[in-house]
Amino acid sequence: MTRLERRSSTMESRRKSRGFLPHRITLWVGVCCIIAIGLLDNRPVDVDVDIPSADPVELTRDSESDVVIVLDYQAIKSSPDKFSKKDFSAAWINLFEQEIGPVTIATPGSLSQKMLDKAQVLVLTSSASDVPESLVKRLRERVLDNRMLLVQERPKGELRDRFGANAKVGSQGADGFTFARDLPEPFNRQLLATPLSTEYLGSTTARERSETLLSIDGAPVIYAEKIGKGTIITIDFDLGEALVSLQQGKPSDDFSVHPKGEWPKTSDLVLNETLNGSDVPFADLLERFIVHGVVGRYRPLPAFWLFPNGADGAVIPIHPDDALGDKATWMLRHEVTHKATSTLLTTFDAGMTASEAAVANRLGGELGLIWRVENSPSARLESFGVGALQPFARAASLENQFQAVVETSPSEALFTGMTHERWWSDDWSAPFRALVTKRVRTDVSYASESRGYSFGTGLPYLALDNSGLPLSIREQPVILPERATTGPELEELLEKSRGGHHQAIGWSLSPSSFSSLPEMQRFDAWVDSFEAAKRHNHSIMSVRRLDVFLRSRRAGVITSQIVIENQPDQPESRILRITAEAKRRGMHLMVPKNIFNKPLYKVRRAANRVGDELVSGEIEVRDVSYVGYPMALIPLDSGFNSIDVVYR
């Protein structure tokens, strides 16, 4: 073959190769796509899922109550976006709702003369403590005549000039409480051991004639001053931060949560390691000292008792299940024989059927949701794509999980929620905001690795948003978490609850945790718990039943006034005259056993005219200790009650 022929042949071959090249590329691209799709179908690409988020609320309430709380929501929202600088004045709502029941919640714009006329106690929170001079004059007149007790938190402007210490030292970081006036032991010692995250205002001189009631690092932070016949109480530390960091936990300053492990858990929010395993509910102790040891020292306040039928506390059984499905109801069947109710929480993939959920409902059990938080280690991936081709995956959304469980529930709503394995979020309040979108009323995720009051309380408290505003959900901490090996046992917690702390003890017990022989000891402890609760006068009830009772308690009415009574040949009497509306049966009033150095003499129903005579009936009361303060419980009839508590 000549050179020309060889060249021609080569060029022809190249032309043929170029002709086949597109077909080869198409073929190999197709092969690669098939391989990639096969791999993706077995290992789908994860797609992020957005977690829903509800907005916080600006609570106001024009109920009939002795206590008016004033909050400036604009000031709260405009406070710095740092945890340590955020205005948590909204914590006062939970404080008085927990300790009293019904409260009036006002803003500077809605605070009316009618509210001022009816208020026995007016609380100007830190957010609303810079008021116009015209209001200062009106408040001073009411205090001078002892028609109102004024409580001011970190006052500014005219209030600071007239009624507060000079605060010239400025804000100081707090180490701990160093003095609490007249709080009985051992509660005084416990309060002084409270872990703190707060700042206080240091002053170079105290107010003349003021009485120090609480100090931090030796400086007075709660003090009272007589003004005419009345009293003004000043709180010069950030009470909101102190309570919120104890109860809801302390994130970083940017509200992020940094996990000790691979992903944040609720245990990562505990303020201080010393709280793990604590048998003292420090947040509640502080609240009760302020309401009954500070405010009650100058203006005794009647309060609705925290538990139905005068019980000293409650045990809240919580049964989380992610595996047994229909078989998880066996614990409810046992509990109903002890006239106890509990909360059974289930995942969307546990296998609970509508028929068995109906059985649980008939047994008095409450069905709730265990949420596998998207992007957490507990998330369950769901593949999606076109037809049989499912190359992508995303975590099962809260919406889908909620809908799957609610379809099995006899109710169209789930009122209690919990995150699976207590996984949380790197955003301090994001899970609360998500659960609010599903109208969940109570979350039970908060627990540490130890038994005890790691979050300073056993009672459900109002959750706050990163903005400092309230969210429409409450957190019920778990005091006895699953498989905890350290901290106080149930018997000890019951004993201390009855002895003065009066708590709801959340107890998490999985229906599958007794399935093996080594768990028999825990099974026996569970069976014995019913008798232990009865011995210590504690109700055993579900999360929802406690929530319903506390809602009725907050929706009631309590108004009171002090009346001086003089009768011939008798010592002068002070009468605490109370009008109370109980929204349900089984409610009680709590009143002090002593006021103004006069002991309780008797309790009677207010006189009613029968014919030509005034008739009143005496009421038998029960004595209780409330963090060392002697109190009396008065049983109420459903509806309105008019009661005179006579001190002589």
Question: Strands 219-227 and 210-216, how do they pair?
Answer: antiparallel
- What integer pLDDT is reported at residue 523 of this predicted model? 79
For 407, the token pair is 């379809």
**Mean pLDDT of the 378-388 span:** 71
pLDDT over 90, % of the chain: 76
Sequential DSSP letters for 571-638:
--EEEEEEEEEESSTT-EEEEESEETTEEEEEEEEPPEEETTEEE--B---EEEEETTEEEEEEE--S
Is residue 116 scored above 50 in pLDDT?
Answer: yes
Average of per-residue pLDDT across 260-273: 94
CB neighbourhood size of 394 (10 A)? 18
CB 181 within 8 A of CB 195: no
pLDDT at 1: 57
- Using CA atoms of 71, 72, 78, 82 in order, give the dihedral in degrees to the nearest 10: -10
Mean pLDDT of 614-634: 91
Q: What is the pLDDT of residue 45?
A: 47
Residue 61 half-sphere exposure toward CB, CA atoms < 13 A: 21
What confidence score (pLDDT) does residue 514 get? 73
Instruction: Report, as an integer, the average pLDDT of 484-513.
Output: 95
Instruction: State mean pLDDT over 518-538.
Output: 85
What value does the mean pLDDT take over residues 443-468?
A: 97
CA distance 401 to 489: 34
pLDDT at 138: 92
pLDDT of 40 higher than 50: no
Q: What is the pLDDT of residue 610?
A: 45
Each residue's pLDDT tens digit, 217-236: 999 999 999 999 999 999 99
pLDDT at site 381: 82
In which band, very low, low, confident or very high, does the pLDDT at 30 lie, cut at 50, 70 and 90? low
**How many other C-beta atoms can be found within 10 angstroms of the C-beta atom of residue 254?**
11
User: pTM higher than 0.85 for the full model?
Assistant: yes
Please give the pLDDT value at position 608. 55
Residue 585's pLDDT band (cuts 50, 70, 90)? very high
